[in-house]
Structure 1
Amino acid sequence: MADTHKVRFEPVGIEIEADEDETVLDAAFRQGVMLIHGCKEGQCSACKSFLLDGDLQMGRYSTFALPDFEKDEGYVLLCRSHVYSDTEIELVNYDEDMIRAGLPVVTVRTQVISLRDLTHDISLLRLGLPAESTFRFHPGQYVDITIPGTDEHRSFSMAGLPTADGLLEFIIKRYPGGRFSGLLEDGITAGDALEVTGPYGTFTLRVSSDRRLVFVGGGAGMAPILALLRQMVVSGDEREAVYYYGARTEDDLFHLDELAQIAERLPAFRFVPCLSESRPRGWTGATGLVTDVLARQEENLSDCDLYLCGPPPMIDAALPLLQDRGVPDSQVFFDKFTVTAADD
């Protein structure tokens, strides 16, 4: 049986226990401490921190996420780190409110309630939690869904809110030949069981802020943003907000009726769909890449909170724009949807 050690996080003064056979990040998740993270696989550097004291060893990781010179200086990736003594770690990226509002990560067996197409390549999947489930989540978070019959999983954001009926809602893009995508097209039906682990993620609404909200999304990236908008409706949030959504053609737009209803419930909210490839006759909306539309329509972003969710090219185009506009990193929150190699 693996030994257990104490891990203390500074400057927040939070302490957890970690087994030697689990990563520091997984130990934090297990105890409801939601640290900043991304891929959970040593590829993105979101969980990069600094080792102050203790015996810590890392498993395999990408040197793009942690260059050798940073490792030599004492930086570590918490998703790859195992501790073999009591350890003290300084967090580099952290949100203390989010850390303290964390929920324990659990694994539950859900049941497929319904599955339908939203567009030619995006599906709406609804899963039901068992009645006795202790699973809880914050709007905007995601879970890992295990591919039946394998040890593999895929990560998907939840589009809904925590409800008494225990319903989890997902907006999922289908990729040709994808392991999970293939199940959505031919393999998953109502009544089937799917194992879900979570919640993960810090893409949550900072309710203590009174800044104007700017949401930017594309494709299945609507899922967590829709969750945040639904949260705003329920809470009666009166902040000014705008949602720029990028799609290729008009046929790639969906949930338009609900977004119109949200605009009715939130008078200070606007939805701006942007078409990048097709300009149908009679279309009077925005055209071009969603990040280009954002640049054209938003001159002053430095006093806004920005929430970005979509494919890597969209995020990679948006972040330099926000930096050029003087937006502090502390006001930018993003989920970069990635495609697992097996789903390419």
Structure 2
Amino acid sequence: MSDTHKVRFEPVGIEIEAAEDETVLDAAFRQGVTLMHGCKEGQCSACKSFLLDGDIQMRRYSTFALADYESDEGYVLLCRSHAYSDVEIELVNYDEDMIRSGLPVLDVTARVAALDDLTHDISLLRLTLPEQSGFRFHPGQYVDIGVPGTDEHRSFSMANTSAADGQLEFIIKRYPGGRFSGLLEDGLTVGDRLDLKGPFGTFTLRAGSDRRLVFVGGGAGMAPILALLRQMADSGTDREAVYYYGARTERDLFHLEELAAIADRLPGFRFVPCLSESWPEGWPGAAGDGETGLVTTALAAREQDLADCDVYLCGPPPMIDAALPLLESLGAPEEQVFFDKFTITAAAED
């Protein structure tokens, strides 16, 4: 048994206990405190905070996430930090309502209930949770799914809004040779067991905001955005919203009927598919409100001022990296931009 220490987070005044053999971020998860985080592997800087007092030691991390000079000044990555005394930490990025509405992270074993093709390279995976698992999540969050036969995992966002019916729904892109996604094509069958850990993530609607919503995503990045749109449709919100969705060709589009049904339920919502490589005759008329080119190009063409908007981005790193400076140029305040950046483990993996 390792020693346990108190960790106090300012300026919110929340205190937890952390064992020396767990990271501060994992200790917070265990106690239902949802801190800002992303990759959980020292690569993205989402959990960067400032050490006010105490002894913290960090495991290996990327200097892209935390530069040497920042470390020298006292900044730490909570996903790499282990407390070796009572510590006091100042949170740099935080949402107090989100922190206090956190759900405890659980380990559960689910069974494959359905596995269907949405496009030529995107699958719908539906899992059934065990009865009385106690697993809950907020729309927009994700879980880590263990790769069968290994100690590795992959992270996927839920596309549904809750686990009340005992189901979890995922939209997953298949990569040739992918350690997990390759199993969706040949390997997983209905009834197979998968180990899950979660929920994680802060890609959730901010309940206290009534600002216009701008969603930007591509590919399997539709999953958490679809969860948020379903949540909005269920609640009957009157917030204005637009969803710019990037795809290569018409055959890469899916869930068009459901998105049209959501637009019928939410008069203030528009779906804008953006095709970057080829488009059918008559496009964008075939989609009603489509664009040609990259999704960021469509965003720049259609949005002039994002100062009074909440912007949600979900997709691969190149899309996010291209969108962030664009959003800044369009006036979107940093604290009103939320993103879920997919990380690809390796070129041949998911």
- Common fold, TM-score beyond 0.5? yes
Q: How does 1:301-340 map to 2 (within 5 A)?
A: 301-340=306-345
Q: How does 1:1-150 map to 2 (within 5 A)?
A: 1-150=1-150
Amino acid at match of 1:193: R
In 2, the alpha carbon distance for the partners of 1:196 and 1:291 equals 33
Amino acid at match of 2:321: D
User: Which sections of structure 1, spanning at least 5 residues, go unmatched?
Assistant: none
Verify: 1:153 aligned to 2:159, yes or no: no
In 2, the alpha carbon distance for the partners of 1:261 and 1:45 equals 37
Q: Could you tell which deviates more after superposition, 219-228 or 38-47? A: 38-47
Report the Cα offset of residue 97 of structure 1: 1.0
Q: Verify the 8 A CA contact 2:303 2:330 in the aligned structure 1.
A: no
Amino acid at match of 1:297: R
Deviations 1:262-310 (A, max 9, x none): 0000011110111000021121231000010010011121111101101
TM-score normalised per structure 1: 0.99
Aligned to 1:237: 237
User: Which sections of structure 2, spanning at least 5 residues, go unmatched?
Assistant: 285-289
Amino acid at match of 1:313: P
Consecutive aligned runs of 4 or more in structure 1 exceeding 4 Å deviation:
none
Amino acid at match of 1:335: D
In 2, the alpha carbon distance for the partners of 1:63 and 1:7 equals 25
In 2, the alpha carbon distance for the partners of 1:297 and 1:161 equals 29
Match among 292, 298, 303 for residue 303 of structure 2: 298
In 2, the alpha carbon distance for the partners of 1:336 and 1:309 equals 6
Aligned to 2:287: none
Q: Verify the 8 A CA contact 2:305 2:332 in the aligned structure 1.
A: no
In 1, the alpha carbon distance for the partners of 2:262 and 2:44 equals 34
Instruction: Report the 3-state secondary structure (helix = DSSP H, G, I; strand = E; otherwise coil) of the residue aligned with 1:257.
Output: helix
Deviations 1:111-138 (A, max 9, x none): 0000011011100000011111011000
In 1, the alpha carbon distance for the partners of 2:92 and 2:170 equals 31
Aligned to 1:343: 349
In 1, the alpha carbon distance for the partners of 2:164 and 2:65 equals 40
Deviations 1:211-231 (A, max 9, x none): 111111100000000000000
Report the Cα offset of residue 204 of structure 1: 0.1
In 2, the alpha carbon distance for the partners of 1:270 and 1:64 equals 36
Report the Cα offset of residue 163 of structure 1: 4.0
Report the Cα offset of residue 164 of structure 1: 2.6
Report the Cα offset of residue 313 of structure 1: 1.1
Query: Percent of counterpart pairs with the same letter?
Result: 80
Report the Cα offset of residue 44 of structure 1: 1.1
In 2, the alpha carbon distance for the partners of 1:269 and 1:246 equals 17
Report the Cα offset of residue 207 of structure 1: 2.0
In 2, the alpha carbon distance for the partners of 1:41 and 1:153 equals 12
Cα-Cα RMSD: 0.9
In 1, the alpha carbon distance for the partners of 2:207 and 2:94 equals 17
Report the Cα offset of residue 334 of structure 1: 0.5
Aligned to 1:282: 282
The alignment covers a number of residue pairs equal to 344
